[in-house]
């Protein structure tokens, strides 16, 4: 059968890349090939397909024999479904003030899931047992939402990475207080690449109960998964996924992407490359007088402070976002398709604008 003719036209320059977000990147060619492979014929809908079944085996290879994956459309959906699965209607979630679930999900945990977020200021985006204790109280107080879950992001919204021992300490502390622990893993691959350890080292091996696994930021077209690690901690996942509008009818096209990333080492190759480009960018930026790097560069993000007018001029040449516009703070993100030439051109442009 000949491929159908199309009138579709390319509306962008594929050689143009910026530093705004790893969401800006396209789809990795190996993932596109997997999608084409899964496209022929009919498969049972709503997750009873061969690809979703095989994904379970792949997930268990990374996260242990009891792990179970529930593919969803996006990261917000993964977090909302996961948090609902480990909280009661009166429950609350302790998280960093800078956490994605607090600052970048449009109030979805509160509005969609009805969950109160109890936030804690952190110097680097990372929680500690001591910081958690600022909100871990009042379980018997009917006037206060009950703290039931600690949510941490690996890596954090500020690009920092928890060590396995740091996560173990949080989990042991939270479990000791009767709380569950959720890990927002939108960039979990970048964290594993940074630590040079398997993902299980800082998830099921240290007692994480449930996690959101990210694919979109690491080469997928779309799609994430809620991964249940502690079956005893989670209730009604299938129903919650449907209720939250995250049940894909043609789920094979989510599952095959995650399989393409995870079955071999594509997830790690992509993440390592993005991290390496961020290190290259940071090295170049450190040589520019007047630019300050704000946080340790441990994954694929570089946070910096520079004059506001310089950033505005630079944004006309490369896309990126202000993080705190009043302070002059910006965020530069690297992706699986960022090249050394992209980084070097950006650093050169930064030097030119700083010299003006």
Q: Is 171 helix (H, G, I), strand (E, B) or coil?
A: helix
> Which pLDDT tens digit goes with each residue over 18-40?
999 999 999 999 999 999 999 99
* Cα 51 to chain centroid, rounded: 23
The two three-digit tokens of residue 19, written as one number:
């530093």
pTM above 0.75, yes or no: yes
> If residue 17 lies in a helix (H) or strand (E), which one and from where to where?
none
Which one-letter DSSP state was computed for residue 140? Answer: T
Structural domains in the chain, CATH included, are 29-262 (3.40.640.10), 266-355 (3.90.1150.10)
Backbone angles phi, psi at 301, to 5 degrees: -120, 145
Q: For residues 81 and 240, is the Cβ–Cβ distance under 8 A?
A: yes
Check pLDDT > 60 for residue 293: yes
pLDDT band, very low/low/confident/very high, at 289 (cuts 50, 70, 90):
very high
Digit-coded pLDDT (tens) for 333-356: 999 999 999 999 999 999 999 998
pLDDT for the residue 6? 72
Residue pointed to by tokens 């946070």: 303
Pick from 109, 97, 75, 51: which is nearest to 259 by CA?
A: 51
pLDDT the model gives residue 5 = 72
For residue 141, the model assigns a pLDDT of 97
What kind and span of H or E run contains 324? strand 321-324
* Residue 227 neighbours by CB distance under 10 Å: 28
Q: In what order do the strands lie in the sheet with 321-324?
A: 292-293, 301-305, 329-333, 321-324
């Amino acid at each position: 059968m000949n491929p159908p003719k199309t009138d579709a036209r390319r509306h962008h320059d594929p050689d143009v890349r910026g530093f705004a977000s790893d969401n800006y990147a396209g789809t990795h060619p190996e993932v596109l090939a997997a999608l084409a492979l899964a496209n022929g014929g009919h498969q049972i809908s709503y997750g009873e397909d061969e690809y979703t079944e095989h994904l379970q085996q792949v997930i268990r290879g990374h996260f242990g024999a009891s792990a179970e994956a529930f593919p969803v459309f996006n990261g917000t959906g993964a977090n909302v479904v996961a948090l609902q699965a480990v909280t009661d209607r009166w429950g609350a979630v302790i998280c960093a003030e800078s956490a994605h679930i607090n600052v970048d999900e449009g109030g979805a945990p509160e509005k969609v899931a009805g969950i109160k977020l109890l936030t804690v200021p952190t110097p680097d985006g990372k929680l500690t047992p001591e910081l958690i204790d600022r909100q871990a109280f009042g379980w018997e107080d009917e006037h206060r939402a009950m703290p039931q879950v600690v949510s941490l992001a690996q890596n954090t919204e500020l690009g920092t990475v928890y060590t396995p021992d740091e996560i173990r300490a949080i989990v042991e502390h939270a479990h000791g207080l009767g709380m569950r622990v959720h890990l927002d893993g939108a960039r979990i691959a970048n964290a594993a690449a940074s630590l040079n350890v398997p993902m299980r080292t800082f998830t099921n091996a240290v007692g994480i109960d449930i996690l959101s696994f990210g694919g979109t930021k690491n080469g997928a077209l779309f799609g994430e998964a809620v991964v249940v690690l502690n079956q005893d901690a989670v209730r009604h996942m299938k129903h919650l996924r449907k209720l939250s509008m995250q049940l894909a009818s043609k789920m094979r096209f989510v599952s095959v992407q995650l399989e393409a990333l995870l079955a071999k080492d594509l997830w790690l190759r992509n993440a390592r490359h993005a991290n390496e480009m961020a290190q290259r960018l940071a090295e170049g930026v450190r040589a520019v007088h007047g630019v300050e790097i704000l946080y340790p560069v441990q994954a694929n993000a570089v946070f910096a402070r520079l004059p506001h007018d310089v950033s505005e001029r630079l944004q006309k040449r490369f896309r990126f976002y202000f993080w705190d516009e009043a302070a002059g703070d910006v965020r530069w993100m690297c992706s699986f398709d960022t090249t050394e030439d992209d980084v070097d051109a950006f650093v050169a442009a930064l030097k030119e604008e700083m010299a003006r």
